[in-house]
Structure 1
């Protein structure tokens, strides 16, 4: 089975004061081992790292711009 990649940009949600946590949890709910979840956020989403680590994800973060962080989560088997 080929690994899937799901990408989600929550910058606009946060700009409009919409909490994206449920949207993020929904996006990762169907991911299997070796699938990738890419998150775009206006800040480094540090609290999310522990939550997704508990669900079996590793992560790499990259600051693209002043208000643009790209975090790549990979679900481990």
Structure 2
């Protein structure tokens, strides 16, 4: 399981997409990338689905979401 917190990058107005995709590429089938963000990362759902992931999301606080991306196949 990879736990990736990009809230600081987002708060600094940065773009964490390259970091997220690099970490996602390391996740084997059946394992998870747990992504911590300041918003619901809806645009990322389709991007990672194309890479073999399904997702579930939980809101921890007003500006803290954790999306659990589980790799179900290699693409």
Alignment RMSD: 0.7
Q: Does 1:53 align with 2:44?
A: no
Counterpart for residue 32 of structure 1: 28
User: What is the TM-score of this pair, normalised by structure 1?
Assistant: 0.91
Query: Runs ≥4 in structure 1, deviation > 6 angstroms?
Result: none
Structure 1: runs of 5+ lacking an equivalent: none
TM-score (norm 2): 0.93
Asked which structure has the greater CA Rg, the reply is: 1
Instruction: Provide, for residues 44-77 of structure 1, a one-character-per-residue CA deviation record: whole Å limited to 9, x for no partner.
Output: 0000000001111010000111000000010003
